[in-house]
Structure formats: C-alpha cells, structure tokens
Structure 1
Amino acid sequence: MNSDLREAVADLPPSAKLVFVVLENHERLTQSALAEETLLPQRTVRYALDELREAGVLHEQLNIMDARQRFYSLADAEESADDTADDPAVGIASEPSASAR
C-alpha cells in the first residue's frame, strides 16, 4: 500500500485507522459491510469515513443500481483526474469528492 496514504491516516482516530486497514484488504465495501467487518456501530463507521474523506485517502462510488448505497475504497496514487466516468462493467459511477461540490 502507498506509504503516502499510511502517513495521511497516522494522526486519525482509531476507528478511522481500523476502517482504513479493512479497506486495504478489500477492493471496495459499502458502509454496512464495513460495519460488519469492523464490528463498529454504523455511526462510528460514518465518522471514520468522514475522517478518511477529509484526509484525502477515500474514494467513493455511487451504486447506480441503488442510489442510496455507496461503495468505498482507498484512493489510488495514480487515480485519474476524471472521477465522473461510468464503469458499466460493475454498475457503478464515480461520486465527486466533497471538495468538488
């Protein structure tokens, strides 16, 4: 895993670090799946995702099959600048970052 991503989470709360480690071991997960994997309450997972988002290490994808759901993964160092491209192979579309809104 990219050492820059690890450095970005070094000062985050333990819940955010746990979610980060789980995301390192999975390609992408929903918030519910993260809660199951980490055994953390949904509210704590939401907080951890907010912290990871602010640190710039989180990538969010909207599930176009169910707009209420998002997929979370770790940001790639070589992630393209175009975060709005659809990926028909997996039925998801990239969600613009909070700073782009």
Structure 2
Amino acid sequence: MSTTEAVAADEDAPDRWEAVRDLPPSAKLVAKVLDYNDTLTQSQLAEETLLPPRTVRYALSRLEEEDVIDSRFSFTDARKRLYSLAV
C-alpha cells in the first residue's frame, strides 16, 4: 500500500476521537491517559494526570455523557469504580 493509499484509507475511517474534540482540555487529557492505560480508578487518574480530584470527576462525567468511557464497580473494592476507554 502506498502512502497516498494509506492516507486515503485513514480519511475514510471514522475518527474515534470525534466525540472528544469539543470537550474541555481536562476531559481530553483523561481520555488520552485512559487510552494509554487499560483501566484506572478516579484516584489513579488524578495521580496520572496531575489534576485535582474534582476536575477528574468533572472530566469523567463529561466523558460519560458522550459515551466515550465505560465504568464498572471494582471487584476488589466496591466503593471504587474502574474507568476504561470505550472508543
């Protein structure tokens, strides 16, 4: 496949980050961190992003509104939720 064919194929493919484009920078950062890591808790996301916990909560709520992330309860600690990227 030539370079021009690869670029044309990329243009035809749906953009997986389209839902994230208009979100705040904190939500974009949380989504990118989740892209690099499989599953993280809210406190782990705060550590990885260096964002305050309140900002991470807001970012997660915005990402959930756009169906960009999946969340589930942790089996090891039911008080915590685990977040992963859905796009």
Offset at 1:21?
A: 0.5
**Taking structure 1 as the reference length, what is the TM-score of the superposition?**
0.70
* Aligned with 1:25 (options 36, 51, 64): 36
Q: Which residue does the alignment assign to 2:68? A: 57
Offset at 1:64?
A: 2.2
Task: Select the structure that is richer in helix.
Answer: 2
Gaps of 5+ in 2: 1-12
Q: Which residue does the alignment assign to 2:3? A: none
Q: 1:74 to 1:36 in 2, by over 3 A?
A: same
Deviations 1:41-66 (A, max 9, x none): 00000000000000111101211221
- Runs of 4+ with deviation above 3 angstroms: 2-5
* Aligned with 1:11 (options 13, 17, 22): 22
Q: 1:58–1:72: 8 Å Cα contact kept in structure 2?
A: yes
Q: 1:19 to 1:10 in 2, by over 3 A?
A: same
Q: 1:58 to 1:37 in 2, by over 3 A?
A: same
Q: 1:5–1:57: 8 Å Cα contact kept in structure 2?
A: no
Gaps of 5+ in 1: 77-101
More displaced, 14-23 or 63-72? 63-72
Q: Which residue does the alignment assign to 1:70? A: 81
| Number of aligned residues | 75
- State the structure with more CA Rg: 2
Q: Which residue does the alignment assign to 1:85? A: none
Root-mean-square deviation over aligned CA pairs: 1.5
Higher relative contact order (CA 8 A, sep 6+): 2
Work out the percentage of aligned pairs sharing the same amino acid.
60
Output the CA distance in 2 between the equivalents of 1:38 and 1:59: 18
